[in-house]
Structure 1
Amino acid sequence: MPGTARGPVDRLRALCLALPEVEERVSHGEPTWFAGSGRRARVFVMLSDHHHDDRLGFWCAAPGGAQERLVAEAPDRYFRPPYVGHRGWLGVYLDGPAPDWARIEDLVADAHALVGPGG
């Protein structure tokens, strides 16, 4: 509904599901978005809802160098996530100061392009 405030998880979900060939499944106890179909579907965004710390955020695939640049630029907003950070994935906090949803939309689209169909 226009004018209705949505929580950050709902906004993230809407961004992910608006992309082609995306499916949401629970993985490791968290909503996770897969790009592609069947056995070729790969994770491109996963929610991190207080699982590893007391923060709400998400992890996403990121182009080379993006993680280092964004974490250096705004460590209160971006972080190197456990388990996948060594592969260049980016963590994004959704709590704290108002998230930059235009940038988050770009990050989600980039993650989808990296691992999704044709990526």
Structure 2
Amino acid sequence: MTFDDVRHIALAWPEVEDGSSYGAPALKVRKKMLARLKEDGDSLVMPGVPPDERDMLVESQPKVFYFTDHYRDYPTVLIRLSKAKAGVVEPLLRCHWRALASKKAVKDFDAFARL
């Protein structure tokens, strides 16, 4: 995957916008960060992942998921996009999007998805 693949997935959801964070490309929902590209150009910084879930992801797929000491105390996981598949990244993104988006946007999206 690439950040463009992540953009393609997330920009299909309501309230997602291109942005930047710490000088890197980012995706935001109502001005809150959904995800951003890490400075290495290959890793996605994915907030909204509780430490216990992050630990499970890192343990089960260490080539894809990791974190650094900087993120140890934050609910964040790093994803090596070059090693990741859309079927793994998309559900994490969608879960975080649902937490950030307005209730109306989520309700409308769910109603549309059922059609």
Q: TM-score, normalised by structure 2?
A: 0.76
Name the CA shift for 1:81/1:22 in 2 (closer, same or farther; >3 Å). farther
Percent identity between the aligned chains?
Answer: 17
Q: 1:35, 1:115 within 8 Å by CA — same for their partners in 2? A: yes
Return 5+ residue gaps in structure 2 as ranges: 107-115
Matched residue, 1:19: 13
TM alignment of 1:101-116, pairs within 5 A? 101-116=86-101
* 1:19-58 paired onto structure 2 within 5 Å: 19-36=13-30, 41-50=31-40, 56-58=42-44
Question: Please, which runs of 5 or more residues in structure 1 have no aligned partner?
Answer: 1-6
Match of 1:86 in 2: 73
The size of the alignment, in residue pairs, is 103
Q: Which amino acid aligns with 2:12?
A: A
Match of 1:67 in 2: 54
Once residues 69 and 15 of structure 2 are traced to their aligned partners in structure 1, the CA distance between those partners, rounded to angstroms, is 27
Two-structure CA RMSD over aligned residues (Å)? 2.2
Conservation of the 8 A alpha-carbon contact between 2:45 and 2:77: yes
